[in-house]
């Protein structure tokens, strides 16, 4: 396992980060087996674990807490979690307000069974909350010793710039990391997000390196895809081979399979090595559900890609290109709320007068 410094935090993390979204009701409901998987990753050199309060409605954090109950394991592990998505029914149980973050961090600390969180991340932007409000409360949590550093996840480049500008003007602590989706099939963040993160000295931990399973080799061109089970049943529009985006992904996968064969590695190993090769990236999040999946992914840790291999990748999917929208769960309010894209009818009539 290789290690890198997480941006300007001074914290060394493994180039593979263990993502735990698949531990709990959404993926693997067996707590004991999930704990064994976490321990196996730690024993093989992974020292970075990422979770979120919304993964299986807090169950993932509880499982991670069980795995890190031993004090020595906890002290050796860089532990990251996230806040934003609504938890439970009722108002003010999500977002990035001081009110919710103050409550959510206490809930995460309790579920994780820890006194501190090494990296606390805001899971998505919150257009309802002034970024100054969010940075202010996060800075207070650092001062209180409840978190060591904080970052953002899946933020557009312009929101990252705004956050840093506000932090500088107001004398607030700033985001130290960004967690974007990044893979062979989704390279859009190369255009601005990754360069902006580098400009501000932010660490980057990327998610979905296997592109929702398309880079596992499980889904291949000309082979039927069962849309009734697993991930295809949850988001069938991402796997329907009749859709142009799915066809484009399957075409690219065939070329990446050939490249992996030429390099003497597996397709998943190629995919993770690619994400880790970008100079902005500190760590790549892997999200196994089973022990076999973990062991298969960790075998690729030594894989390094030559410039020739990177050139061949660029020829298949050009830099900065997304073959699909990598974050199918969240979209900015500017796109989801029609009122933000349309002048009131009276204003439109006055402008035409």
Instruction: Count Cβ atoms within 10 A of the Cβ of residue 6 and give its class: 0-12 exposed, 13-18 middle, 19 or more buried.
Output: buried
What is the reported pLDDT for 350?
A: 65
Domains in the chain with CATH codes = 3-327 (3.20.20.100)
Structure tokens at 241: 């081979």
What's the confidence (pLDDT) of residue 351? 62
| Interatomic CA distance for residues 98 and 94, integer angstroms | 11
Strand partners, 153: 179
Contact in structure between 231 and 213 (CB atoms under 8 Å): yes
How far is the C-alpha of 178 from the C-alpha of 205, rounded, in Å?
Answer: 7
- Kindly list the catalytic residues: 55
Instruction: Copy the structure tokens of residue 335.
Output: 């796109």
pLDDT score at 184 = 98
User: What is the structure's pLDDT at 329?
Assistant: 57
The reported pLDDT for the residue numbered 37 is 98
- Segment 145-179, tens digit of pLDDT: 999 999 999 999 999 999 999 999 999 999 999 99
Q: Which of 37, 103, 59, 112 is nearest to 286 (CA)?
A: 37
The per-residue pLDDT for 251 is: 96
For 25, the 3-state DSSP assignment is coil
Low-confidence ranges of the chain (pLDDT < 50): none
pLDDT of residue 349: 63
């Amino acid at each position: 396992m290789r290690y890198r410094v997480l941006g300007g935090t001074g914290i060394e993390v493994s180039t593979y980060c263990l993502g735990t979204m698949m531990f709990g009701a959404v993926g693997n409901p067996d707590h004991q087996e999930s704990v064994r998987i976490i321990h196996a990753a730690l024993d093989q050199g992974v020292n970075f674990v990422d979770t979120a309060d919304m993964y299986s409605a807090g169950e993932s954090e509880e499982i991670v807490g069980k795995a890190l109950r031993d004090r020595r394991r906890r002290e050796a592990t860089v532990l990251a979690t996230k806040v934003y998505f609504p938890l439970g029914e009722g108002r003010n149980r999500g977002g990035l307000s001081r009110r919710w973050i103050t409550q959510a961090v206490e809930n995460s600390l309790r579920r994780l069974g820890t006194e501190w969180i090494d990296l606390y991340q805001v899971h998505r932007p919150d257009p309802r909350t002034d970024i100054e409000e969010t940075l202010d409360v996060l800075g207070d949590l650092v001062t209180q010793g409840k978190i060591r550093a904080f970052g953002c996840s899946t933020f557009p480049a312009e929101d990252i710039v705004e956050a840093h500008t506000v932090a500088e003007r107001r004398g607030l602590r700033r985001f130290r990391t960004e967690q974007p989706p990044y893979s062979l099939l989704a390279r859009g963040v190369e255009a601005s997000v990754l360069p902006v993160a580098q400009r501000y000295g932010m660490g980057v931990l990327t998610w979905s390196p296997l592109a929702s399973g398309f880079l596992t080799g499980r889904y291949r061109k000309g082979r039927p895809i069962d849309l009734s089970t697993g991930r295809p049943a949850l988001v069938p529009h991402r796997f329907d081979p009749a859709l142009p985006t799915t066809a484009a992904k399957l075409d690219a996968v065939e070329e990446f399979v050939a490249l992996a064969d030429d390099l003497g590695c597996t397709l998943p190993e190629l995919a993770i090595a690619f994400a880790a090769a970008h100079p902005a990236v500190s760590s790549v999040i892997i999200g196994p559900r089973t022990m076999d999946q973990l062991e298969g992914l960790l075998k690729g840790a030594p894989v390094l890609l030559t410039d020739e291999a990177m050139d061949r990748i660029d020829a298949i999917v050009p830099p900065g290109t997304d073959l699909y929208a990598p974050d199918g769960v969240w979209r900015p309010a500017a796109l989801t709320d029609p009122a933000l894209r349309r002048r009131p009818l009276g204003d439109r009539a006055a402008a035409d007068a």
